[in-house]
Amino acid sequence: MSARNLLRLTLVARRSASTASASQLGFIGLGNMGASMATNLAKAGHQVRVFDVSRAAIDAVVAGSEGRASAASSANEVVPGASAVVTMLPSSKEVTQIYSGSDGLLAASKGNGTLFIDSTTGEPGVCEKIAEEAQQAGAVYIDAPVSGGVVAAKNAQLTFMCGGPKSAFDIAAPLLAAMGKKSIHCGDKVGSGEAAKICNNMLLAVSMLGTCEAMALGKHLGLNPNNLAEVLNASSGRCWSSEVYNPVPGVVPGVPSSRDYDGGFLCALMLKDLRLAQSAAAQNQVSTVMGGLACQIYSLMCAHGLAAKDFSVFYKFLQDQQNKSN
Amino acid sequence: MSARNLLRLTLVARRSASTASASQLGFIGLGNMGASMATNLAKAGHQVRVFDVSRAAIDAVVAGSEGRASAASSANEVVPGASAVVTMLPSSKEVTQIYSGSDGLLAASKGNGTLFIDSTTGEPGVCEKIAEEAQQAGAVYIDAPVSGGVVAAKNAQLTFMCGGPKSAFDIAAPLLAAMGKKSIHCGDKVGSGEAAKICNNMLLAVSMLGTCEAMALGKHLGLNPNNLAEVLNASSGRCWSSEVYNPVPGVVPGVPSSRDYDGGFLCALMLKDLRLAQSAAAQNQVSTVMGGLACQIYSLMCAHGLAAKDFSVFYKFLQDQQNKSN
Amino acid sequence: MSARNLLRLTLVARRSASTASASQLGFIGLGNMGASMATNLAKAGHQVRVFDVSRAAIDAVVAGSEGRASAASSANEVVPGASAVVTMLPSSKEVTQIYSGSDGLLAASKGNGTLFIDSTTGEPGVCEKIAEEAQQAGAVYIDAPVSGGVVAAKNAQLTFMCGGPKSAFDIAAPLLAAMGKKSIHCGDKVGSGEAAKICNNMLLAVSMLGTCEAMALGKHLGLNPNNLAEVLNASSGRCWSSEVYNPVPGVVPGVPSSRDYDGGFLCALMLKDLRLAQSAAAQNQVSTVMGGLACQIYSLMCAHGLAAKDFSVFYKFLQDQQNKSN
Amino acid sequence: MSARNLLRLTLVARRSASTASASQLGFIGLGNMGASMATNLAKAGHQVRVFDVSRAAIDAVVAGSEGRASAASSANEVVPGASAVVTMLPSSKEVTQIYSGSDGLLAASKGNGTLFIDSTTGEPGVCEKIAEEAQQAGAVYIDAPVSGGVVAAKNAQLTFMCGGPKSAFDIAAPLLAAMGKKSIHCGDKVGSGEAAKICNNMLLAVSMLGTCEAMALGKHLGLNPNNLAEVLNASSGRCWSSEVYNPVPGVVPGVPSSRDYDGGFLCALMLKDLRLAQSAAAQNQVSTVMGGLACQIYSLMCAHGLAAKDFSVFYKFLQDQQNKSN
């Protein structure tokens, strides 16, 4: 970040801080996650101009905002007057389309030092490119993908993983606090948030699949699943998947395994993140033997009609035949 | 367990409880682990007759026991007069050799209701067979493999995973408490302790390999390892391997990764446990796709000369070439 | 093979050669494969005493033998008077049970230099042990597992893979020729036939799974399966599975893929062979990364109800969902 | 291909056929492969304008062409007057850069119906896009990646796998015949040649890795490698890797395994092709479980310093430690 951009940003920050309850923001991307995030920003007292390709999505957010959200008729229209703009898009492809070029968001910010906070889950390399373009356009761009699903978004309980200069992170933090419970600064390099997220999700997939196999093996060896979970959680096999989100129905109340794997973090979304990880690994010449197999397993489960089931459904998939006969 | 054996065992238990500081025990198998375990039993005030194929190993334990350990000249010689006998052997093969048949430990117990506690890491199926034979011989056999390595054995900080009737477990518990910090009753079926241990270690291997890959990917994406570990440990990728035993040198002080992967839980031992898991899975018709690949990876690392390194060395193995040039 | 046994065997061989059309044989194990093999020996003019645990199986072979097969009432009863005995059993476990010990086949041969030809698919290590015991009992034991299924057995078109001294192989060869089209001497060590068979079948599984994936990928990329098969078979991807036994329906007429994967070489049998390979690899400290994954994939397919389908069904399993919707 | 372009192409074809020995061609990309291919076109009597980013590469081809190759000072300069232009570039990225846009090759062809034959190994999807752009520009573009390495290129022994309309393939065929021994029309869709090539190479990788494991397992079970290769090649494990290019030194004379895996088809290139396959599989929602693991294994071997060794070196990698000690 150049000294000039940093100065602009600091001025913006002071302005925001002095008028915290009335800062002007932009928000683009009002899907399941984005709509809740924009609503939470409005609830926290901010004025938010919102845009989505679906007019109905815009209207719904505006209607639920107690007068603090207003409709924009294009993505670029949310920029003028906004100290910060949050984007929540389907993938890196849309990020490039909306931010980049002479008709993009960065150009629309006209060198006013706007802070762009991108919560899209995407490729670290794309974030780096947009950040460079932002700097040339007199704007600041950081990545801030989230962990936690639709329910966490609604309840402002998301975790944000952020990449970019610490100074920019510090300015973004109060806004993120209106949408989540925690923000982690993952690195000064833009894209570090995305990088941390795909590493986390790759490890999550591997440990979930391992947990499913360990629980299935234990069951076939005659162990009671609750006993086995207790042993694992007191031992070196302990992981988030065994403790908090156990894939065996009945071991942990309220998680997707206990409602036939409906809802939760869908196999299709895990597959998407694993493919981002595989792509990042290939570009950076890293071997990920277990992560690669995890990616194939989720691909196979999606081919078997489980794309819309929770990612812990591998426990059931492993033992498909037995379930049919029981 | 038959009513008759249970009665015998209860009587033995009462006898033990009333004379807790002076009960007579047997111990067979004085390797790195067993020698410390026998010593801790003696330190706790028990009289222990000890045997090993190595006379030197016997002498060392006797010498360090403040007069409470005595040498036996054969395995069977530890049995007469002992209310309980603990065994810590290399594998299921030795368990069968020593316990079974007309010249084995069970026969030597002469129907006196001796409690045999087997801490060998082995096959659940073998434990079941020995338990049946024990019942016929008027003895009681439970399995109680340990978690924690040589240091934990020395400091009486082992965790015991036990399989067998709850009544037998309750009688064993005070003895186990002299050698460890925790005992878990994994199931009423003898072999449940072994079953839980191999499930745990399979999950441990999978999550460790996944942690190594996630940390390596993050490093190549420009993340600081400490930052990434912090993110994982606050997120859904959290596991024992990321939190307590991180495979990247410097992230967690004092673990094997910080001393070039020396000591710790050796790849060769992890491979042995993974093979037990694969064997149990095959016998019980369970698929363990990730566990199977983990087994192959440890086999490959052993073939590359890493058998005597800690099992977290996969982080280094993944990036072999870079380490050579750096 | 000791000089004494070899002499006996040579004498037996001369006797057999001089009376080729009337030699006395034994045959144990009259399942789908064994019944056809015994029948073909009888058709070739030999007198064959046959045994199986199923009386009906014995009767069927005797009935179809034009008077040259006769019923034995126990396994050992086929031995007296026989120059050679062929066994075709379910697994190594039955081989040990029937051959070994004071009441086994080897003892029943009473040092008469009987040649035992074992066509069971089993563990090389078990064959070695039986061969040693045979030598002590004054008999000769070689392994001769087969390739080719039920149809090949019926039409005397099997391939035999043999392990044992060349002199013993030469004596066995004319008998094998009555049951198959080809016999290969794989090595002088008994067990070499089993070893070669499990190596072959592991490679078969790997290349079949790879062929299924290549054909599925090509289809999704818009290639005509016949065109792609032609390219593969003219290029470095060529293998038995792509050329002779293509897993895509319609590419090669008459193979199981063209009749919804019915019949053929069942997934359950391939899984059995892959487990033998994994067991042999573990005992010999060899890594088989692809072979290990192949084993897991067949285990998963069996859990999904495909145990009784041909092993090329992975092509369908890979794309399960699409098949459902089409 | 539109009727108008096809007409143009047919006219060009007639012109070429009538003056076969003197047609004017263009060639771009004079690396190890391309230089030999361009030289072979010149040797066959064609006039070839050649271009490369390296002036030295251009000069070498011109010098060895007996006056039939001439230097171009830019890529576009090879187009005017050429009935056909062959490109042999590092990857799809360079294909897009050179062909596409208002300053690209397609624009430079000025609607004259030039036939572009692209022998780059790349992504089928990119070929499709360039073919569409070609049609709009009044040109014809087909893909024709090659199989066979540097030696085959030098000796005009390449195999071409072609995608595009049959009529265009027929026109290209005589030119391809000057550079190779065989051309296969893989499909009418442009990109079919690339698709077939990546399917073939994925299967090649899987079957080579499987062959290495089967040969290694056999060796550890005591089989002579020549015997085992003979068995495999007479059985269902037979594949190109076992028959023609066996990975065990000494089994097939003259292949890379017999010269310490030097030369041949490098691991780094196989890894590149496997990544193309993984990318194509992900885009088309196909699972490739074995192909995915093969990709990871080649990545791991490259990380272990084997990038410049032949792809059959996995046989050695599998048994690294033994080789060190022997």
Contact by Cβ (8 Å): A50, A38: yes
A303 CB within 8 Å of a chain C CB? yes
Chains that touch A (3 or more CB pairs under 8 A): B, C, D
Q: Minimal Cα–Cα distance from D287 to chain B, Å? A: 15
CA atoms within 13 A on the CB side of C27: 31
Q: Residue A87: phi, psi to the nearest 5?
A: -120, 140
Nearest CA in chain C to D193: C223
Please report how many Cα atoms fall inside a 13 Å half-sphere around the Cα of residue B109, on the Cβ side.
Answer: 31
Q: Which two tokens stand for residue D126?
A: 């990119």
Chain A nearest CA to D106, separation (Å):
25
Distance from CA of C194 to the nearest CA of A (A): 30
Task: Return d(Cα C148, Cα C142) in angstroms, integer.
Answer: 19
Domain boundaries, chain A: 3-188, 196-320
Q: D289 and A275: CB-CB below 8 Å?
A: no
**pLDDT per residue over A228-279, tens digit each?**
999 999 999 999 999 999 999 999 999 999 999 998 899 999 999 999 999 9
**The CATH number of D3-188 is which of 3.90.550.10, 3.40.50.720, 3.40.190.10, 2.40.50.100?**
3.40.50.720
Residue C149 has pLDDT above 90, yes or no: no
- CA–chain centroid gap for A3, Å, is 30
Tokens in use for C71?
A: 């019923």
> Which residue is associated with the tokens 């885009």?
D283
Q: Is pLDDT of B15 > 80?
A: no
For residue D322, the chain B residues in CB contact (below 8 A) are: 303
**Which member of B300, B304, B321 has the closest CB to residue D303?**
B321
Average pLDDT, chain C: 92
Optimal mutation site among B289, B298, B299, B304, interface D, most CBs of chain D within 10 A: B304
| A196-320: CATH superfamily | N-(1-d-carboxylethyl)-l-norvaline Dehydrogenase; domain 2 (1.10.1040.10)
Chains that touch B (3 or more CB pairs under 8 A): A, C, D
How many angstroms separate the CA of residue A240 from the nearest CA in chain C? 25
Q: What is the structure's pLDDT at D322?
A: 44
Given this model, what pLDDT does residue D324 score?
45
CATH topology of domain B196-318: N-(1-d-carboxylethyl)-l-norvaline Dehydrogenase; domain 2 (1.10.1040)
So what's the pLDDT on residue A323?
A: 43
> Are B153 and B37 a contacting pair, CB within 8 Å?
yes
Contact A149, A126 (CB under 8 A): no
Contact D305 B321 (CB under 8 A): yes
Residues A15-43 have a mean pLDDT of 83
Say yes or no for a CB contact (<8 Å) between D210 and C206.
yes
A158 backbone dihedrals φ, ψ, rounded to 5°: -70, 155
Distance from A278 to chain D by nearest Cα, in Å?
A: 9
Closest CA to C17 of C213, C181, C198, C170: C170
Q: pLDDT, tens digit, for every residue of B244-296?
A: 999 999 999 999 999 999 988 999 999 999 999 999 999 999 999 999 999 99
Contact A292 D288 (CB under 8 A): no
Average the pLDDT over each of B262-266, C1-5, C123-127 and give the range with the smallest value. C1-5
pLDDT at position C148: 84
A300: nearest CB among D279, D287, D297: D287
Strands B180-187 and D180-187: unpaired
pLDDT digits (tens, 9 = 90+) for A300-315: 999 999 999 999 999 9
- pLDDT over threshold 90, residue A324: no
Contact (CB<8Å) B321/D300: no
Q: Of the ranges B22-26, B122-126, B192-196, C195-199, which one carries the lowest mean pLDDT score?
A: B22-26
CB–CB of B319 and A286 under 8 A? yes
Q: pLDDT at position C168, please?
A: 97
Residue C189: is its pLDDT beyond 70? yes
Among candidates A227, A89, A172, which has minimal Cα distance to B161? A227
Are D161 and D145 in contact by the 8 Å Cβ rule? The answer is yes
Confidence band, pLDDT 50/70/90 cuts, at residue A59: very high
Q: Would the CB atoms of D293 and C289 count as touching at under 8 Å?
A: yes
**In Å, how far from its chain's centre is CA C265?**
11
∠B101-B104-B108 over CA atoms, to 5°? 120
Q: pLDDT tens, C17-69?
A: 444 445 899 999 999 999 999 999 999 999 999 999 999 999 999 999 999 99
Q: C: neighbours with 3+ CB pairs under 8 Å?
A: A, B, D
Confidence check: pLDDT of D22 > 80: no
* A122: pLDDT strictly greater than 60: yes
Q: What is the pLDDT of residue C20?
A: 46
Catalytic (active-site) positions of D:
197
Task: Please name the fold of domain D196-319.
Answer: N-(1-d-carboxylethyl)-l-norvaline Dehydrogenase; domain 2 (1.10.1040)
pLDDT of the residue at D13: 52
Q: Lowest-confidence range among A144-158, B37-51, C84-98?
A: A144-158
The phi-psi region of residue A111 (left if phi > 0; otherwise alpha if psi is between -120 and 50; otherwise beta) is: left
User: How many other CB atoms are found less than 10 A from the CB of residue D295?
Assistant: 27
* Geometric angle at alpha carbon C316, from C310 and C317, rounded to 5°: 90
Q: Which residue of chain B has the CA closest to D322?
A: B303
C-alpha atoms less than 13 angstroms from C-alpha of B150 in its C-beta half-sphere: 8
- DSSP label at residue B119: -
| Chain B residue closest in CA terms to C276 | B282
- Residue A112, Cβ neighbours under 10 Å: how many? 16
Q: Note the pLDDT of residue C326.
A: 32
- Kindly tell me if the per-residue pLDDT of D185 is higher than 90: yes
Average pLDDT over residues C172-199: 96
Residue-level pLDDT at B325:
35
Question: How much is the pLDDT for C10?
Answer: 57
pLDDT of residue A322: 44
- Residues of B within 8 A of D320 (CB-CB) are 303-305
Residues of C in contact with A318 (CB under 8 A): 300, 303
Q: Do A210 and B291 touch (CB under 8 A)?
A: yes
> Which position has the higher pLDDT, C6 or B149?
B149
Using an 8 Å CB-CB cutoff, list chain C residues near D322. Answer: none
The number of beta carbons lying within 10 Å of the beta carbon of residue C24 is 17
Q: How many CB atoms lie within 10 A of CB D18?
A: 9
- Alpha-carbon span D172 to D84, nearest angstrom: 8
Catalytic positions of A: 197
Determine the Cα–Cα distance for residues D148 and D129; give it in Å rounded to an integer: 26
What tens digit of pLDDT does each residue of D96-136 get?
A: 999 999 999 999 999 999 999 999 999 999 999 999 999 99
**By C-alpha distance, which of C236, B54, C171 is closest to D149?**
C236
Q: Would you state the torsion angle of the CA atoms of residues A121, D278, B322, A270, taken in this order, to the nearest 10 degrees?
A: 30
- In whole angstroms, what is the distance from residue D27 CA to residue D116 CA? 10
Residue B302 touches chain D, beta carbons under 8 Å = yes
Query: In this structure, which long-range contacts are made by residues A300-304, counting pairs with CB atoms below 8 Å and at least 24 apart in sequence?
Result: A300/C318, A300/D287, A300/D289, A301/A267, A302/A267, A302/A268, A302/A271, A302/C321, A302/D285, A303/C318, A303/C319, A303/C320, A303/C321, A303/C322, A303/D285, A303/D287, A304/C320, A304/C321
Catalytic residue among C93, C166, C197, C219: C197
Contacts of A286 in chain B (CB under 8 A): 213, 216-217, 220, 318-319
Residue type, B243: E
Query: Token pair for residue D10?
Result: 């047919």
Any bridge partners for residue B186, and if so which?
none
Nearest CA in chain D to C193: D223
Tens-digit pLDDT profile for residues A70-90: 999 999 999 999 999 999 999
Q: What is the pLDDT of residue B9?
A: 61
CATH fourth-level superfamily of B3-189: NAD(P)-binding Rossmann-like Domain (3.40.50.720)
Question: Which of C303, C320, C321 is opposite residue A318, by nearest beta carbon?
Answer: C303
> Is B290 within 8 Å of chain D by CB?
no
Task: Please check whether residue D39 is in contact with residue D60, taking contact to mean a CB–CB distance below 8 angstroms.
Answer: no
Find the closest chain A residue to B221 by CA distance: A195
What mean pLDDT is predicted for residues B226-238?
95
Could A302 and D292 be called an inter-chain contact, meaning their C-beta atoms sit closer than 8 Å? no
Q: Is it the case that residue A15 has pLDDT exceeding 80? A: no
State whether residue D217 sits within 8 Å of chain B by CB.
Answer: no
Q: Provide mean pLDDT across the span A60-71.
A: 96
Left if phi > 0, otherwise alpha if psi is -120 to 50, otherwise beta: which for B175? alpha
Q: Give the residue-averaged pLDDT of C102-113.
A: 95
Predicted confidence at residue C17, as pLDDT, reads 45
Output the pLDDT for position D23: 84
CB C309 within 8 A of CB C261: yes
Distance from CA of C288 to the nearest CA of D (A): 5
- pLDDT greater than 80 at residue D58: yes
